[in-house]
Structure 1
Amino acid sequence: MTTTEPTPAVQKSSEVLLSVDGLVKHFPIRKGVLQRQVGAVQAVDGLTFDVTQGETLSLVGESGCGKTTTGRLLTRLLEPTAGTIVFEGRDISHLREGQMRPLRRDVQMIFQDPYGSLNPRHTVGKIVGAPFRLQNVKTEHGVKRAVQELLELVGLSPEHYNRYPHEFSGGQRQRIGIARTLALRPKLIVADEPVSALDVSIQAQVVNLLEDLQEEFDLTYVMIAHDLSVVRHVSDRVAVMYLGKIVELADRVDLYENPMHPYTTALLSAVPVPDTKRKGKQERIRLQGDVPSPINPPPACRFHTRCWKAQDICKTVEPPLIQLAPGHQTACHFPENATPEQEATATAAAKA
């Protein structure tokens, strides 16, 4: 990945493509012969955000914070427990499988594992051509020609049409998965850690490919990632998740240069600095303890058990996700890098 400073993010459109309000997903825990519910895993607990046409919104956070579950909810691979998902003005939260089928053309997903997401028994031609057959889409020059053009688009050879997944490297397999995702020209792509399983030398190639495709086809991405260096390179906005909730949502440049939530500050302090002159000046914040269980999360602010700024109010009053600066939302009673006016806004929100 290039080490040059990324250019400031630009809002690409004001048109909201995807709107999420109060999204919840709880997985029931059942025991006994009668399989009675005795609890629930609160994987996602009240997410609210919008995604505008043509932008890249990244979801970041520690493993187990609910990023992948959120991605599967957005693509309706999982049924939400509560909340709404509105795509192009239509509520798709609880559509049946038959009703979702036409929308699959517009909402697609890139999976994390380039090995497990491809059927080893099928050729590349059959894998990439599956969306055309499943959606009964007719192409001008036939499915084979369309698949070969897709393979060229993602940097592979048309001659790979009759080969099997085991004959390719990890990066090439991910390109095959991307070609399959692009087959029906979707409007929204949820990319679940698309480069985390790849070698570092290949990651930059795939990231650059995704950016080129976004520009060419006016794609909108919801990127799920844990590598904050990659996130800084590709994102327009970043949402930081902790234990099923969004704790900070801001423009990429603003978030990296002026983080307000203590958890975000701790995450950014762990990002490796390639500049040896600055490396020694970076203060590493080490969080104490493990992430609490989503089965029984802490009350009020879920981060208070690991936060160095926590006070009594953090244990009794849940901080709302409010805007403390233009386009910068934070859920914290005592935000970092905040002006006196912003601190007063956070205090007033807690009392409301």
Structure 2
Amino acid sequence: MTTANTEPAPAPTQDREDLLTVSGLVKHFPIRKGLLQRQTGAVQAVDGLDFSVAKGETLSLVGESGCGKTTTGRLLTRLLEPTAGKIVFDGRDISHLSDGKMRPLRRDIQMIFQDPYGSLNPRHTVGKIVGAPYRLQNVKTEGGTKKAVQELLELVGLSPEHYNRYPHEFSGGQRQRIGIARTLALRPKLIVADEPVSALDVSIQAQVVNLLEDLQNEFDLTYVMIAHDLSVVRHVSDRVAVMYLGKIVEIADRVSLYEKPMHPYTLALLSAVPIPDTKRKAKRERIRLTGDVPSPINPPPACRFHTRCWKAQDICKTVEPPLLQLAPGHQAACHFPENQPGEKPVDVT
């Protein structure tokens, strides 16, 4: 995707008010074998994440399949119990709250699922699906649940007449709109969107993305967007966090990350983004990573990317690079970062 020189930078963050703060977040899935089910290892899906999300902001998590993006999303919504670390939402530590204590907070934290086909119960009508949050939270609405659901359907671009229809009668894009309507029912503060457009046709993706942006502006929503399509991420994000094998290796505002990526892994990801300009494509350096992503059961020591990195040296194999701020609002975890302040940026976009 070509870089526009006039692309506006995200709003300043010095006065930001954080809605979500994550520190040292860890999730290991135990591997058990034998008759006594003794633990013989663990899948280190998420291994020490630190980040925050301001009110009204969109933070996108990107990376290869298996890097821990979806697990992170499920931890933030407390669909999974963290192994360690802290999740603070709106000033309250929700890291290890019981189901009963989390129940009232479900109004404020919702999730949009990746699969618009599997996330809707095929035996329930649209009215019952979208109205479920009202029933589960015992929320009374003015004019009744049916009226509230029909207003939600109109809000996401569907017809109130769809109230009595079933999911199989809708296209993929329409099903995702139904899922979004269900998510919005209780007017949440934070929405975790797990690959919300990846299962949709390209022609429908833009409609859903624009809908999410319009809803954010109208209801002052905060998004954590999980995605792998870097073109979509660039369009919707305020800041972007790049994950590799359970860790964040770089986090920055949208403009800085796309124009001056610092971590070698980020450079490699951006160099793979298709661009329509053939002249610019011919000049761009395509970075091809060798080898497969290591197993999260036994990740490489120190820098987890050193087994595939063309800049790796001995220190990368022995000392884990901390996630440090190398430029204003731009953090990277690398001993030999690219695009340091004052250097000519590498053209990968």
Report the equivalent of 1:346. none
1:77 correspondence with 2:103: no
* 1:275 CA displacement: 1.8
Checking the alignment, whether the CA contact within 8 Å between 1:125 and 1:147 is kept in structure 2 is yes
Match of 2:238 in 1: 236
Listed as ranges, the matches of 1:173-322 within 5 Å are: 173-322=175-324
Structure 1 counterpart of 2:30: 28
Partner of 1:92: 94
Q: Which amino acid aligns with 1:168?
A: F
Rounded Cα–Cα distance in structure 2 between residues aligned with 1:186 and 1:24: 25
Deviation of the 1:244 alpha carbon: 0.1
Encode CA deviations 1:98-149: one digit per residue, 9 max, x unaligned: 0000000000000000000000000000000000000000000000000000
Give deviations 1:157-188, integer Å, cap 9, x for gaps: 00000000000000000000000000000000
Aligned pairs (5 A) from 1:42-61: 42-61=44-63
Report Cα offsets for 1:299-350 as digits up to 9, x if no partner.
Answer: 0000000000000000000000000001000000000111489xxxxxxxxx
Q: CA deviation at 1:292?
A: 0.1
- Give the secondary structure class of the aligned counterpart of 1:274: coil
Shift of 1:10: 2.0
1:276 Cα deviation (Å)? 2.5
SS of equivalent residue, structure 2 residue 283: coil
**1:350 paired residue number:** none
**Stretches (4+) displaced over 4 A:** 1-6
- 2:3–2:259 CA contact under 8 A, matched in 1: no
Q: State the Cα distance separating 1:42 from its structure 2 match.
A: 0.1
Separation in 2 of the partners of 1:228 and 1:238? 10
The separation in 1 between residues aligned to 2:281 and 2:231, in whole angstroms, is 15
- The count of aligned residue pairs is 341
Pair 1:215–1:231, CA change in 2 (3 A): same
**Structure 1 residues 2 and 266: CA distance shift in structure 2, 3 A:** closer
| 1:6/1:233 contact within 8 Å kept | no
SS in structure 2 opposite 1:280?
A: helix
Identity %: 87
Q: What is the CA-CA distance between 1:277 and the residue it aligns to?
A: 2.6
Q: How does the TM-score come out when normalised to structure 1?
A: 0.95
Q: Is the CA contact 1:250–1:327 (under 8 Å) kept in the aligned structure 2?
A: yes
Residue 282 of structure 1 deviates from its aligned partner by: 1.4
Structure 1 pair 68–135 and aligned structure 2 pair: CA distance change class (3 A): same
Tell me, what secondary structure is at the counterpart of 1:85? Answer: strand
* Residue in structure 2 matched with residue 103 of structure 1 by the alignment: 105
1:145 partner letter:
K
**Matched-pair contact (CA < 8 Å) for 2:327–2:341:** no
Measured in 2, the distance between the counterparts of 1:187 and 1:262 equals 34
CA gap of 1:267–1:3, structure 2 versus 1, over 3 A, is closer
TM-superposed deviation, 1:25 = 0.0
* Corresponding residue for residue 9 of structure 2: 8
SS in 2 for 1:295: coil
Deviations 1:8-30 (A, max 9, x none): 32247611100000000000000
Which residue identity is paired with 1:201?
A: S
Long gaps (5+) in structure 2: 344-349
Q: How far 1:77 moved relative to its partner?
A: 0.0
User: CA-to-partner distance for each residue in 1:180-228, whole Å, 9 max, x for gaps?
Assistant: 0000000000000000000000000000000000000000000000000
CA contact (8 A) 1:131 1:184 kept: yes
State the Cα deviation string for residues 242-289 of structure 1 (Å, max 9, x = none).
000000000000000000000000000000112223121111100000
- Provide the secondary structure at the position in 1 that maps to 2:110: strand
Contact 1:11 1:236 in 2 (8 A): no
* Residue 141, structure 1, aligned to residue 143, structure 2: yes
- Residue identity matched to 1:8: A
Measure the CA separation in 1 of the matches of 2:161 and 2:152.
12
Q: Is the 8 A contact 2:60 2:225 kept in 1?
A: yes
Rounded to whole Å, the distance in 2 between the matches of 1:211 and 1:6 is: 17
Alignment RMSD = 1.6
- The answer to whether the 8 Å contact 1:29/1:40 transfers is yes
